[in-house]
Structure 1
């Protein structure tokens, strides 16, 4: 994905798709008092986002990642963190074999880290050395560093999962993540080395930075983590217990990429409606396929919503007046817009719901259950995971909750749907440049001596082909690792990145369609200046023309494409 989004922090999702996305992503506030320990001065100012393990939204993640928003926590969330850690320590006292605590991880799960029973100074030293070394050896990611917004989002997502209370991490690690987010300290995290069964090798770089090792982005520069901690008066974390595993055994990085890709896909779909409506006027298209009576015959929710939005954009347009020159049936790329766009919107709504679950759940292995007691009929194997001593009850149970396939498959489904959106937009561009369909000049030239929009058609042709390849999916490309014990994967980060790239490409395709649509409308207005445009298309067209002027003579079109993309990615000022 491109780096275009860094300054778009306060941008709201637009159109009806935006309403669906934000409404599904928003939840009620936690309402709990905020612990003063979490109120660290925020260099970005503004109201902080309260994290409580239950109400984190897509909009919140975007605000923290892109907008630099700070975070705080209710006291009840930190209480759960401590209770979870207490259960973990009791398991160690009772000599339970706990993955990542008293035993190693991965293929080394059969190795003892420290003996059970009362934790001695020697046992603590062994645990601290194991945790520190585990972070060092797992921090093996490579490739270009992730954008700051992605790492900030990943830290916020991981922090919120810790606050659910199933992780067993210590409060000092939680506070360390809060400090990083609120002081503008962002670990440098390479982007290659995750197969989508927890982003272990990537997130370990966050753990390194908490220890004061590795590099961070700080005040616009890349500096050693130790330098940033010293300048902020912060102490490095000495990981202990299950701190290392709790820091990196998570899908927080992939989920962060997925959040931004989903957010951008929603914006693309909202903008696609506006561009399409203007494209209809450029074509002098037939509104029949979008009439409410027709839509009721086949009432798929997304399709009906897309058609209603098109009707709303075109309300009052000349397209509702009979024109003998208008085709009885337009090309399918026009007629099927509500079906194609609506299918993508249905996919988007499903993905938002799944990501909301991911953002407010713990995907740890093992999972810690506070206050749990075994069922009365529990077998001996079940009871082996429970603890009850020193005033602490609970359980530490191995899980596979790090498997993200539920939302990875939906990422791929939306990717395919968005590729269809971009493909039909590409076809509409080609039709707008053809007199047979528009009854306007070839390539929408303003005079016979011009070349017009001839060569520019290669942009959507190229990007649409790229989108088709990106939509082929990544989740089935599985290679067993870790001594064959990790013999399945999802490539979650790759799937999320693909969706983001498809969204970026679709912005560019829609930009070229917008250029064609506006040019065609201008040509029609030259013939009939009183031609009425739609209630939505008129202000959209006028706002666009303030950014990109009518093509009255051949010129370098690359700046027009760039300005058109920026217009679509920016706020809706219409």
Structure 2
């Protein structure tokens, strides 16, 4: 994205989309019209220091050292910063020490996109003009971002108040020539990264260290990036559900608009609408019960009686059949068998599907609402001031305490609670996906599909059996990580910071969990594509058979052999002819238009599973098709045509 349009930062109008653009490479520029306000706050602080006013973090220590005032002269001299920088003031040393002693995170570094998003957020909030940072320091921060320098920020170390102190210190320390950074793919000392990019380290003035490391940038960056993934995964989840519904020849009444108008939660209504659109054009959904055959294992003579007339049937990978309901078993059900023909095939005679299908709008929709709530919080936070103290240089006041106000905007609880909601929602979406996947594989619940979606004629094949194990393992792992971090406050800074949000951990968990949710959805799509092939081909094979044989031939094929004479013989043949003629007259059965596009996108990378083969690469491919949005983008593109 080297040629991406620059995102202008003014402290008031940054959007989630713009932040994502910067995270993945777009440069930033500072809004020149806002810089005088930035400079005015910095000048005000300098004036107050000249008057020897006590201001937290400027002329006092930090945290539990807030009651320690900086003197005019050093108490201790020689060694340390004094020896390296003999002309440095105590105020400058205070800010420098704040950064270098707070950069103590551990663990693997955050990905480059997270760090770039953190830098963008930090610059934007400092542009509000209430932090006391100098314009030249802000320009240096933007230059570092635009040069492609990515500070090394280990993932563990923030408690979410006073904001993300430690991670943000890892950002700022590189600006001072310390720490480490990635530059053009190489991990370097911070000073070397600056030098190679043609930049020089800076020194910090009044409150600048505090302005740089007080705030919620890590948790917000992780949260916004996670939501960008989750919003695509929500659409993918609807698509996976739609493909599974078609593979079940499911019922659409549960998604009708008049149904959801009676309980109009926004996410629920949106999902129901989406499912109707995804399944539009399906002739599998809402198919009459009696037209759906049941899978029977293929045998060498399964299709021999029509093979001569229809040679292609020899390639069929299944056999099909129905059971006839004798007259003696219809007592009390006569009205039902007036509407539906008296045959039991694959589809159960019940007016509703299982919860994992029927309640998709309610479950997916609730997750959408959780994500929408987090998005609302994040959009406020993107343009909020989150450091401390807050500088009001133009306020009319008798005392400086009324112009430099210590508050709590660094506290991450608004973000933490929003993300705890999302964190609890992620395994819910994964869980219902796994239940649909399992339903496709279990012959007791799959409505006539073969066990584990494989023929297994020789009892040697497992098909998709263990795919469900993997999905179950991921769901369990997601559930075990869903407990909110925000409910466990551990006081810090000698109890000066006696209640913290743990929002950084919350956001980090959500970002990682989003990737694992995508794996489960990929496995459902992988499985549903196999099931859809089988369901469609079985029904269409029955249709073609019906079009080319008479009622006795049809009966002999799908009801298991020659007919026996008896009282019910003629009635049986009449009803078989009704079934045969209805199938023969039916158009080719097909999934919804969007489902068909998604299925084609999967089949472009993963073939149908005829017989057992190694599935490891296919599973990895299925996961990648979701993470790279291949299937979702194919559907979106087809709608745009």
Preserved CA contact (<8 Å) 1:91 1:396: no
Take 2:438 and 2:505, find their aligned partners in 1: how far apart are those partners?
A: 31
Residue number in structure 2 paired with 1:56: 14
Which of 486, 490, 498 is residue 497 of structure 2 equivalent to? 486
Q: Which of 300, 307, 330 in structure 1 is aligned with 2:353?
A: 330
CA contact (8 A) 1:114 1:123 kept: no
Residue 343 of structure 1 is matched in structure 2 by 366
Residue 507 of structure 1: aligned partner = 518
Q: Are 2:22 and 2:117, in contact at CA under 8 Å, matched by a contact in 1?
A: yes
Q: 1:82 to 1:122 in 2, by over 3 A?
A: farther
In the TM superposition, what whole-angstrom CA distance separates every residue of 1:368-402 from its partner, at most 9, and x where no partner exists? 1242224xxxxx7xx4524xxxxxxxx21101111
Distance 1:236 1:384, change over 3 A: closer
Aligned residue in 2 for 1:134: 98
Q: Deviations over 1:480-509 (max 9, x none)?
A: 111111111111111112212221121111
CA distance in 2, matches of 1:215, 1:317: 56
CA displacement at 1:228 relative to structure 2: 2.0
Alpha-carbon distance in 1 for matches of 2:514, 2:37: 38
Q: CA deviation at 1:194?
A: 0.7
> When the two structures are superposed, what TM-score results if normalisation uses the length of structure 2?
0.77
1:568 to 618, 621, 626: 626
Give the match's secondary structure for 2:445.
helix
CA distance in structure 1 between the partners assigned to 2:513 and 2:105 by the alignment: 25
Match in the other structure for 1:518? 529
Give the secondary-structure state (helix, strand or coil) at the position aligned to 1:563.
Answer: helix
Determine if the alignment matches structure 1 residue 163 to structure 2 residue 127: yes
> How many angstroms does 1:122 deviate by?
9.7
2:429 is the alignment partner of 1:421? yes
Structure 1 residue 248 displacement after superposition: 0.6
Matches within 5 A, 1:90-101: 90-101=47-58
- Pair 1:111 & 2:122 matched: no
Equivalence for 1:397: 405
Q: Is this contact kept in 1: 2:255–2:275, CA < 8 A?
A: yes
Q: Deviations over 1:337-374 (max 9, x none)?
A: 10011111111111111101111011111011242224
* Runs ≥4 residues deviating over 6 A: 121-124
1:24 match: none
Quote the Cα distance in structure 1 between the aligned partners of 2:4 and 2:237. 32
Quick one: which of 545, 548, 555 aligns to 2:613? 555
Aligned residues: 512
C-alpha separation in 2, matches of 1:413 and 1:492: 12
Distance 1:329 1:320, change over 3 A: closer
- Aligned 8 A contact 2:489 2:500 in 1: yes
SS of corresponding position for 1:403: coil
Distance 2:625 2:396 in 1: 57
From 381, 385, 397, the counterpart of 1:362: 385
Q: After TM superposition, give the deviation of residue 115 of structure 1 in Å.
A: 5.1
Looking at structure 1, the residues matched to 443 and 115 of structure 2 have their Cα atoms a distance apart, in angstroms, of: 49
1:347–1:414: 8 Å Cα contact kept in structure 2? yes
Tell me if the contact between 1:333 and 1:428 (Cα under 8 Å) persists in the aligned partners. Answer: yes
Work out the CA distance in 1 between the residues paired with 2:87 and 2:149. Answer: 32
How far, CA to CA, are the matches of 1:302 and 1:115 in structure 2? Answer: 61
- State the Cα distance separating 1:113 from its structure 2 match: 2.6
Distance 1:400 1:110 in 2: 18
**Aligned-partner SS, 2:281:** coil
Contact 2:219–2:415 (CA under 8 A) maintained in structure 1: no
CA contact (8 A) 1:172 1:237 kept: no
Q: Distance in 2 between matches of 1:128 and 1:490?
A: 30
Q: What is the aligned partner in structure 2 of residue 226 from structure 1?
A: 191
Q: Distance in 2 between matches of 1:231 and 1:405?
A: 39
Q: How does 1:282-301 map to 2 (within 5 A)?
A: 282-301=247-266
Q: CA RMSD in A?
A: 1.9
Which has the larger displacement, 519-528 or 153-162? Answer: 519-528
The whole-number CA distance in structure 1 between the counterparts of 2:159 and 2:257 is 46
Matched, 1:441 2:450: yes
Tell me the residue number matched to 1:309. Answer: 274
Q: Provide Cα deviations, 1:287-311, integer angstroms capped at 9, x if missing partner.
A: 1211112112211111111101001
Q: Does 1:277 align with 2:242?
A: yes
Q: Which residue of 601, 608, 611 corresponds with 1:543? A: 601
- Alpha-carbon distance between aligned partners in 1 of 2:439 and 2:228, rounded to the nearest angstrom: 30
Report the Cα distance in structure 1 between the residues aligned to 2:193 and 2:116, rounded to whole angstroms: 16
Runs of 5+ unmatched residues, structure 2: 74-84, 291-346, 541-587, 636-641
Q: Which residue in 2 is equivalent to 1:46?
A: 4
Q: 1:249 aligns with which of 192, 214, 219?
A: 214
* Distance in 2 of aligned mates of 1:226 and 1:425: 49
Contact 2:103 2:169 in 1 (8 A): yes
- Of 135, 141, 158, 1:194 maps to 158
Kept in 2, the 8 Å contact 1:363–1:401? The answer is yes
**Is contact 1:286-1:330 (8 Å) kept?**
yes
**Could you say which residue in structure 2 is the equivalent of 1:410?**
418
